[in-house]
């Protein structure tokens, strides 16, 4: 074999090696690009999936066992307030009409601004401030001599406050409360324990506190709604077998108050 032939053969071997190397490099490049594209797609899918999860609305609350004629109650807003105690002159010593729109229908009250001016003034202010929007009535009493529905706490926990307190007015001396009366619920402090919570009395009730509870209104329509809630009973695990959260939920959706014309 001549030297020229050896050189030609060596060049051909080198060209084959270079071609093979180039082919391998091209395959590696394609593989790398495919892996990169796949990784990018996976990241985009994950981001889109995460975004979709973040934008998905909260899982709706489990439906509750409502009384006949009642809609499902809304979720409570879960907040109290920081308001100032209004002047008792706001009630003007007049009678006011309050309409409590609930998920079970309207409960209408007459408020006595003459006998309980501070309680009625507070009620007017809280209604105008939309304090009671979507607030559950959290406590029910169905026992003998203790028949009432306690409402007025926007948190639904029983410890919400409008940010102020005031003293007892117009409390019965014998501790007896009659069906249809509306009275302020309060803490143990009779001088500043009233706030935004109140009782709707749906049967003769004895509350033998020496300082009593402010009677500030009377139910003129919708007491049958309270009776219906009471008939469903109380949830287990409350204060007793006859005092606790109502089995059939009821919430105040909004409250409107107007001065009653003579």
pLDDT tens digit string along 130-168?
Answer: 999 999 999 999 999 999 999 999 999 999 999 999 999
In Å, how far are 113, 127, 129 from 196, measured between CA atoms? 16, 10, 12
Average pLDDT value for residue range 188-209: 97
DSSP 67: P
Look at residue 126 and tell me whether its pLDDT is greater than 60. Answer: yes
19-59 tens-digit pLDDT: 444 444 445 445 444 444 444 434 333 433 443 333 344 45
Q: From CA 199, how far away is CA 155, in angstroms rounded?
A: 16
For 180, counting Cβ atoms within 10 Å of its Cβ (0-12 exposed, 13-18 middle, 19+ buried), the class is middle
The model's confidence at residue 88, banded by pLDDT at 50, 70 and 90, is: very high
Query: Which residues have C-beta within 8 Å of that of residue 218, sequence separation ≥ 6?
Result: 109, 110, 112, 180, 181, 182
Torsion of CA 231, 236, 239, 240, to 10 degrees: 70
Quote the tokens at residue 29.
């490049």
Q: What is the pTM of this model?
A: 0.77
Backbone angles phi, psi at 258, to 5 degrees: -135, 150
* Counts for the chain of helices (H) and strands (E), in that order: 3, 12
Backbone angles phi, psi at 52, to 5 degrees: -60, -40
pLDDT computed for residue 1 by the predictor: 57
């Amino acid at each position: 074999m001549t030297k020229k032939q050896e050189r030609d053969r060596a060049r051909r071997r080198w060209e084959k090696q270079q071609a093979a190397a180039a082919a391998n490099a091209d395959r590696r490049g394609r593989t790398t690009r495919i892996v990169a594209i796949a990784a990018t797609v996976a990241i985009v899918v994950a981001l889109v999936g995460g975004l979709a999860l973040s934008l998905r609305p909260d899982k709706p609350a489990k439906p509750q066992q409502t009384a006949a004629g009642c809609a499902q109650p809304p979720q409570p807003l879960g907040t109290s307030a920081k308001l100032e105690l209004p002047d008792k002159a706001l009630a003007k010593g007049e009678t006011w009409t309050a309409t409590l729109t609930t998920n079970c229908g309207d409960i209408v009250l007459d408020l006595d601004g003459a006998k309980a001016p501070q309680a009625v003034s507070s009620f007017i202010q809280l209604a105008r401030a939309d304090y009671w929007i979507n607030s559950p009535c959290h406590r029910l009493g169905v026992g003998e001599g203790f028949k009432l529905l306690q409402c007025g706490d926007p948190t639904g926990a029983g410890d919400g406050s409008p940010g102020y307190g005031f003293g007892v007015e117009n409390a019965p001396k014998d501790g007896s409360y009659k069906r249809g009366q509306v009275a302020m619920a309060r803490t143990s402090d009779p001088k500043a324990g009233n706030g935004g919570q109140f009782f709707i009395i749906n049967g003769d009730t004895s509350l033998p506190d020496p300082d009593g509870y402010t009677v500030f209104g009377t139910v003129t329509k919708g007491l049958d709604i309270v009776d219906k809630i009471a008939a469903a009973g109380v949830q287990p695990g409350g204060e007793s077998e006859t005092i606790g959260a109502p089995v059939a939920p009821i919430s105040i959706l909004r409250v409107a108050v107007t001065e009653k014309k003579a």
